[in-house]
Amino acid sequence: MDERDYRALRDLVAAGGVTVLTGAGMSTASGIPDYRGPDGSRRVQPMQYAEFLASAENRRRYWARSYVGWARFRAAGPNDAHRAVAALQHGGQFEELITQNVDGLHQSAGSRDVIELHGNLNEIVCLNCEERFERGEVHRWISEANPGFTADSEEIRPDGDIVLAAQDFADFRLVRCVTCGSDLLKPDVVFFGGSVAKPLVEQAYAAVESADALLVLGSSLQVMSGLRFVKRAHALGLPVALVTRWPTRGDEWASLRIDSLLQDVLPRLVNDLLQAPPTQPVSL
Protein backbone atom coordinates (compact mmCIF):
# COMPACT_ATOMS: atom_id res chain seq x y z
CA MET A 1 0.00 0.00 0.00
CA ASP A 2 1.41 3.34 -1.05
CA GLU A 3 1.81 5.62 1.97
CA ARG A 4 0.76 8.71 0.04
CA ASP A 5 -2.47 6.99 -0.94
CA TYR A 6 -3.07 5.93 2.64
CA ARG A 7 -2.55 9.48 3.90
CA ALA A 8 -4.98 10.78 1.27
CA LEU A 9 -7.56 8.25 2.43
CA ARG A 10 -6.93 9.14 6.07
CA ASP A 11 -7.45 12.82 5.33
CA LEU A 12 -10.65 12.12 3.41
CA VAL A 13 -12.08 10.03 6.25
CA ALA A 14 -10.90 12.49 8.92
CA ALA A 15 -12.92 15.24 7.25
CA GLY A 16 -16.12 13.26 7.87
CA GLY A 17 -19.32 13.25 5.84
CA VAL A 18 -18.36 9.98 4.16
CA THR A 19 -21.00 7.61 2.82
CA VAL A 20 -19.70 4.04 2.66
CA LEU A 21 -20.61 1.30 0.18
CA THR A 22 -19.45 -2.22 1.05
CA GLY A 23 -19.27 -5.48 -0.87
CA ALA A 24 -18.36 -9.12 -0.38
CA GLY A 25 -14.72 -8.33 0.34
CA MET A 26 -15.80 -7.05 3.77
CA SER A 27 -16.72 -10.57 4.87
CA THR A 28 -14.00 -12.77 3.39
CA ALA A 29 -12.00 -12.59 6.63
CA SER A 30 -15.12 -13.88 8.41
CA GLY A 31 -15.00 -17.05 6.32
CA ILE A 32 -17.60 -16.00 3.75
CA PRO A 33 -16.02 -15.99 0.28
CA ASP A 34 -16.75 -13.46 -2.44
CA TYR A 35 -18.18 -14.29 -5.84
CA ARG A 36 -15.34 -13.22 -8.09
CA GLY A 37 -11.68 -13.85 -8.81
CA PRO A 38 -8.94 -11.31 -9.63
CA ASP A 39 -10.19 -10.94 -13.22
CA GLY A 40 -13.74 -10.10 -12.08
CA SER A 41 -15.20 -13.40 -13.30
CA ARG A 42 -17.51 -15.38 -11.02
CA ARG A 43 -15.99 -18.26 -9.10
CA VAL A 44 -19.43 -19.81 -8.66
CA GLN A 45 -22.74 -19.69 -10.50
CA PRO A 46 -25.47 -18.56 -8.08
CA MET A 47 -29.15 -19.43 -8.40
CA GLN A 48 -30.89 -17.02 -10.76
CA TYR A 49 -34.24 -15.52 -9.75
CA ALA A 50 -36.02 -16.80 -12.87
CA GLU A 51 -34.49 -20.23 -12.29
CA PHE A 52 -35.79 -20.28 -8.71
CA LEU A 53 -39.32 -19.44 -9.89
CA ALA A 54 -39.27 -21.87 -12.80
CA SER A 55 -39.76 -25.16 -10.97
CA ALA A 56 -40.16 -26.89 -7.62
CA GLU A 57 -37.13 -29.00 -8.55
CA ASN A 58 -34.96 -25.88 -8.76
CA ARG A 59 -36.30 -24.66 -5.43
CA ARG A 60 -35.58 -28.06 -3.90
CA ARG A 61 -32.00 -27.85 -5.14
CA TYR A 62 -31.62 -24.34 -3.75
CA TRP A 63 -33.12 -25.12 -0.35
CA ALA A 64 -31.11 -28.32 0.13
CA ARG A 65 -27.90 -26.36 -0.47
CA SER A 66 -29.04 -23.41 1.60
CA TYR A 67 -30.20 -25.61 4.49
CA VAL A 68 -26.77 -27.20 4.85
CA GLY A 69 -24.93 -23.93 4.28
CA TRP A 70 -26.98 -21.93 6.76
CA ALA A 71 -25.50 -23.62 9.82
CA ARG A 72 -22.02 -22.56 8.72
CA PHE A 73 -23.08 -19.16 7.45
CA ARG A 74 -24.80 -18.10 10.67
CA ALA A 75 -21.73 -19.12 12.69
CA ALA A 76 -19.67 -16.40 10.96
CA GLY A 77 -18.93 -13.34 13.04
CA PRO A 78 -17.78 -9.81 12.22
CA ASN A 79 -14.10 -9.28 11.56
CA ASP A 80 -11.78 -6.34 12.25
CA ALA A 81 -12.93 -4.54 9.10
CA HIS A 82 -16.59 -4.66 10.20
CA ARG A 83 -15.63 -3.43 13.65
CA ALA A 84 -13.53 -0.63 12.20
CA VAL A 85 -16.41 0.57 10.03
CA ALA A 86 -18.69 0.58 13.07
CA ALA A 87 -16.11 2.48 15.13
CA LEU A 88 -15.63 5.11 12.42
CA GLN A 89 -19.38 5.49 12.04
CA HIS A 90 -19.84 6.00 15.77
CA GLY A 91 -16.85 8.33 15.76
CA GLY A 92 -18.59 10.59 13.24
CA GLN A 93 -16.29 9.99 10.26
CA PHE A 94 -18.74 7.75 8.41
CA GLU A 95 -22.35 8.75 7.90
CA GLU A 96 -24.61 6.45 5.87
CA LEU A 97 -23.63 2.82 5.34
CA ILE A 98 -24.84 0.98 2.23
CA THR A 99 -24.02 -2.71 1.84
CA GLN A 100 -24.44 -5.24 -0.93
CA ASN A 101 -23.92 -8.04 1.59
CA VAL A 102 -26.71 -10.20 3.00
CA ASP A 103 -24.92 -11.53 6.10
CA GLY A 104 -25.90 -8.91 8.69
CA LEU A 105 -22.31 -8.68 9.97
CA HIS A 106 -22.23 -4.88 9.88
CA GLN A 107 -25.09 -4.81 12.39
CA SER A 108 -23.42 -7.50 14.50
CA ALA A 109 -20.32 -5.31 14.67
CA GLY A 110 -22.36 -2.34 15.88
CA SER A 111 -23.08 -0.35 12.73
CA ARG A 112 -26.41 1.49 12.72
CA ASP A 113 -28.98 2.34 10.06
CA VAL A 114 -27.50 -0.02 7.48
CA ILE A 115 -29.07 0.16 4.02
CA GLU A 116 -29.12 -3.48 2.87
CA LEU A 117 -29.41 -3.23 -0.91
CA HIS A 118 -29.70 -6.98 -1.42
CA GLY A 119 -31.68 -7.88 1.71
CA ASN A 120 -30.75 -10.16 4.57
CA LEU A 121 -30.63 -13.96 4.77
CA ASN A 122 -32.18 -13.86 8.25
CA GLU A 123 -35.63 -13.22 6.79
CA ILE A 124 -37.78 -15.47 4.61
CA VAL A 125 -40.65 -14.22 2.46
CA CYS A 126 -43.44 -16.16 0.74
CA LEU A 127 -43.55 -14.95 -2.84
CA ASN A 128 -47.21 -16.00 -3.08
CA CYS A 129 -48.80 -14.25 -0.08
CA GLU A 130 -45.88 -12.04 1.11
CA GLU A 131 -45.95 -13.47 4.64
CA ARG A 132 -42.58 -13.15 6.37
CA PHE A 133 -40.80 -15.58 8.67
CA GLU A 134 -37.62 -15.63 10.71
CA ARG A 135 -34.95 -17.80 9.11
CA GLY A 136 -34.48 -19.94 12.21
CA GLU A 137 -38.17 -20.86 12.18
CA VAL A 138 -38.08 -22.01 8.57
CA HIS A 139 -34.82 -23.86 9.23
CA ARG A 140 -36.64 -25.77 11.98
CA TRP A 141 -39.48 -26.69 9.59
CA ILE A 142 -36.94 -28.02 7.11
CA SER A 143 -35.23 -30.07 9.83
CA GLU A 144 -38.56 -31.63 10.80
CA ALA A 145 -39.43 -32.38 7.17
CA ASN A 146 -36.01 -33.91 6.47
CA PRO A 147 -34.93 -35.84 9.58
CA GLY A 148 -31.37 -37.01 9.33
CA PHE A 149 -30.64 -35.04 6.16
CA THR A 150 -26.93 -34.33 5.88
CA ALA A 151 -24.60 -33.49 3.05
CA ASP A 152 -20.87 -33.03 2.91
CA SER A 153 -19.39 -29.94 1.31
CA GLU A 154 -16.50 -27.72 2.31
CA GLU A 155 -17.50 -24.86 0.01
CA ILE A 156 -19.85 -22.18 1.31
CA ARG A 157 -21.02 -19.39 -0.96
CA PRO A 158 -21.60 -15.66 -0.34
CA ASP A 159 -25.38 -16.14 -0.37
CA GLY A 160 -25.21 -18.84 2.30
CA ASP A 161 -25.66 -22.02 0.27
CA ILE A 162 -23.08 -24.66 -0.63
CA VAL A 163 -22.10 -26.87 -3.53
CA LEU A 164 -23.97 -30.19 -3.62
CA ALA A 165 -24.13 -32.97 -6.18
CA ALA A 166 -27.60 -33.89 -7.44
CA GLN A 167 -27.65 -37.22 -5.61
CA ASP A 168 -27.06 -35.42 -2.31
CA PHE A 169 -30.54 -33.89 -2.32
CA ALA A 170 -32.55 -36.48 -4.27
CA ASP A 171 -34.81 -37.14 -1.26
CA PHE A 172 -34.93 -33.59 0.10
CA ARG A 173 -38.44 -32.31 0.87
CA LEU A 174 -39.52 -28.71 0.44
CA VAL A 175 -41.57 -27.01 3.16
CA ARG A 176 -44.55 -24.76 2.51
CA CYS A 177 -45.82 -21.44 3.77
CA VAL A 178 -48.01 -22.02 6.83
CA THR A 179 -50.25 -19.14 5.74
CA CYS A 180 -51.07 -19.98 2.13
CA GLY A 181 -49.54 -23.42 1.53
CA SER A 182 -47.24 -22.30 -1.29
CA ASP A 183 -43.73 -23.70 -1.68
CA LEU A 184 -42.54 -20.30 -2.93
CA LEU A 185 -40.57 -19.55 0.21
CA LYS A 186 -37.40 -17.58 -0.51
CA PRO A 187 -34.80 -15.75 1.57
CA ASP A 188 -35.60 -12.05 1.39
CA VAL A 189 -32.53 -11.27 -0.68
CA VAL A 190 -32.03 -10.17 -4.27
CA PHE A 191 -31.04 -13.13 -6.41
CA PHE A 192 -28.99 -12.62 -9.56
CA GLY A 193 -31.43 -11.51 -12.22
CA GLY A 194 -33.68 -9.84 -9.64
CA SER A 195 -34.05 -6.14 -8.90
CA VAL A 196 -33.32 -4.02 -5.85
CA ALA A 197 -36.51 -2.47 -4.47
CA LYS A 198 -36.96 1.08 -5.74
CA PRO A 199 -37.34 2.66 -2.25
CA LEU A 200 -33.98 1.17 -1.23
CA VAL A 201 -32.32 2.49 -4.37
CA GLU A 202 -33.74 5.95 -3.71
CA GLN A 203 -32.60 5.82 -0.07
CA ALA A 204 -29.09 4.87 -1.17
CA TYR A 205 -29.01 7.62 -3.81
CA ALA A 206 -30.04 10.12 -1.14
CA ALA A 207 -27.21 8.91 1.11
CA VAL A 208 -24.71 9.48 -1.69
CA GLU A 209 -26.14 12.86 -2.66
CA SER A 210 -25.96 14.16 0.92
CA ALA A 211 -22.34 13.02 1.38
CA ASP A 212 -19.07 14.87 1.05
CA ALA A 213 -17.36 11.74 -0.31
CA LEU A 214 -18.08 8.12 -1.22
CA LEU A 215 -15.86 5.30 0.06
CA VAL A 216 -16.24 1.85 -1.53
CA LEU A 217 -14.92 -1.07 0.52
CA GLY A 218 -14.47 -4.61 -0.77
CA SER A 219 -16.62 -4.43 -3.90
CA SER A 220 -15.64 -5.29 -7.47
CA LEU A 221 -18.55 -3.08 -8.64
CA GLN A 222 -19.24 -5.60 -11.38
CA VAL A 223 -23.01 -5.26 -11.02
CA MET A 224 -24.95 -2.04 -11.55
CA SER A 225 -26.60 -2.21 -8.10
CA GLY A 226 -23.36 -0.82 -6.65
CA LEU A 227 -21.70 0.83 -9.64
CA ARG A 228 -24.55 3.31 -10.15
CA PHE A 229 -23.74 5.01 -6.84
CA VAL A 230 -20.11 5.48 -7.87
CA LYS A 231 -21.29 7.03 -11.12
CA ARG A 232 -23.71 9.31 -9.27
CA ALA A 233 -21.02 10.49 -6.84
CA HIS A 234 -18.64 11.17 -9.72
CA ALA A 235 -21.32 13.09 -11.61
CA LEU A 236 -21.86 15.25 -8.52
CA GLY A 237 -18.15 16.00 -8.30
CA LEU A 238 -17.69 14.09 -5.04
CA PRO A 239 -14.40 12.33 -4.25
CA VAL A 240 -14.72 8.57 -4.76
CA ALA A 241 -12.23 6.32 -2.93
CA LEU A 242 -12.01 2.58 -3.56
CA VAL A 243 -10.30 0.15 -1.19
CA THR A 244 -10.33 -3.47 -2.35
CA ARG A 245 -8.14 -6.14 -3.89
CA TRP A 246 -7.88 -6.34 -7.66
CA PRO A 247 -9.25 -3.97 -10.32
CA THR A 248 -12.90 -2.92 -10.20
CA ARG A 249 -15.43 -1.85 -12.76
CA GLY A 250 -15.54 1.56 -11.09
CA ASP A 251 -11.83 2.41 -11.26
CA GLU A 252 -12.25 5.01 -14.00
CA TRP A 253 -14.51 7.13 -11.77
CA ALA A 254 -12.31 6.89 -8.68
CA SER A 255 -10.22 9.78 -7.41
CA LEU A 256 -8.31 7.41 -5.08
CA ARG A 257 -7.70 3.68 -5.49
CA ILE A 258 -6.00 1.48 -2.88
CA ASP A 259 -5.38 -2.18 -3.75
CA SER A 260 -5.14 -3.70 -0.28
CA LEU A 261 -6.87 -5.97 2.19
CA LEU A 262 -9.44 -4.11 4.25
CA GLN A 263 -7.97 -5.60 7.44
CA ASP A 264 -4.71 -3.80 6.62
CA VAL A 265 -6.36 -0.41 6.08
CA LEU A 266 -9.46 0.08 8.22
CA PRO A 267 -8.05 -0.81 11.67
CA ARG A 268 -5.15 1.54 10.93
CA LEU A 269 -7.62 4.33 10.22
CA VAL A 270 -9.28 3.67 13.56
CA ASN A 271 -5.94 3.80 15.36
CA ASP A 272 -4.94 7.00 13.59
CA LEU A 273 -8.25 8.82 13.91
CA LEU A 274 -9.84 7.45 17.08
CA GLN A 275 -6.82 6.09 19.00
CA ALA A 276 -8.86 2.98 19.86
CA PRO A 277 -8.15 -0.62 18.80
CA PRO A 278 -10.84 -1.96 16.44
CA THR A 279 -10.33 -5.53 17.59
CA GLN A 280 -12.67 -4.98 20.55
CA PRO A 281 -16.46 -4.73 20.26
CA VAL A 282 -17.74 -1.22 19.77
CA SER A 283 -19.40 0.26 22.86
CA LEU A 284 -22.85 1.51 21.94
* CATH superfamily of the domain spanning 44-75+122-189: SIR2/SIRT2 'Small Domain' (3.30.1600.10)
At residue 188, does pLDDT exceed 50? yes
* pLDDT bracket for residue 259 (50, 70, 90): very high
Q: 157 pLDDT exceeds 70? A: no
Q: Give per-residue pLDDT as tens, 230-256.
A: 999 999 999 999 999 989 999 999 999
Q: In what order do the strands lie in the sheet with 119-126?
A: 132-134, 119-126, 185-189
Average pLDDT, the chain: 88
Q: Does domain 1-32+79-118+196-284 have CATH number 3.40.50.1220?
A: yes
What pLDDT score does 40 carry? 42
- 234 is a catalytic site residue: no
Known binding-site residue numbers for Zn(2+): 126, 129, 177, 180
- Reference 53, options 158, 124, 127, 121; nearest CA is 127
DSSP element (H, E) containing 146: none
Q: Tell me, what's the pLDDT at 156?
A: 60
Higher pLDDT, 177 or 72: 177
Residues of the chain with CATH 3.30.1600.10: 44-75+122-189
Q: Is the pLDDT of residue 36 over 70?
A: no
Q: For every residue of 94-134, which 3-state class applies, written as one string?
A: EEEEEECCCCCHHHHHCCCCEEECCEEEEEEEECCCCCEEE
What's the pTM value of the predicted model, to 2 decimals?
0.88
Q: Catalytic: which of 82, 118, 139, 234? A: 118
Domain with CATH 3.40.50.1220 in the chain: 1-32+79-118+196-284
Higher pLDDT: 49 or 277? It is 49
| pLDDT reading at 284 higher than 50 | no
